[in-house]
């Protein structure tokens, strides 16, 4: 029980760091209005690498939980992406 609780706590900390990392990189792109394609590709690739590393090191979640939370998670993701796209287009 303790090991599972510790794993979950570690996962939450990794997700929090990943979210902060993604937001920081997206906000840095927003600050620079004319981002070069090369710089944009680098930032996107860095974000993808961080997500991949998180998925490799994270504890797998059962499919049932994914199915139960799918609509809610898709709604939250869409809302966040819409916010960032709107912010980037202004």
pLDDT category of residue 68 using cuts at 50, 70 and 90: very high
Residue 89: the pLDDT is 74
Exposure letters 34-43 (e unless 16+ CB within 10 A, then b)? ebeeeeeeeb
Crossing angle of the two packed helices 2-31 and 37-57, in degrees rounded to 10: 180
User: Percent of the chain at pLDDT above 90?
Assistant: 13
User: How far apart are alpha carbons 8 and 1 in whole angstroms?
Assistant: 11
In this predicted model, what pLDDT tens digit does every residue of 25-35 receive, in sequence order? 888 877 777 77
User: How far apart are alpha carbons 44 and 27 in whole angstroms?
Assistant: 12
């Amino acid at each position: 029980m303790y090991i599972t609780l510790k794993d979950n706590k570690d996962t939450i900390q990794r997700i929090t760091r990943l979210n902060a990392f993604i937001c920081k990189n997206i906000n840095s792109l927003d600050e620079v209005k004319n981002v070069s394609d090369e710089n944009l590709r680098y930032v996107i690739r860095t974000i993808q690498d961080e997500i991949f590393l998180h998925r490799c090191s994270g504890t797998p979640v059962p499919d049932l939980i994914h199915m139960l939370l799918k609509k809610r998670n898709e709604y939250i993701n869409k809302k966040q992406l819409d916010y960032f796209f709107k912010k980037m287009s202004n």
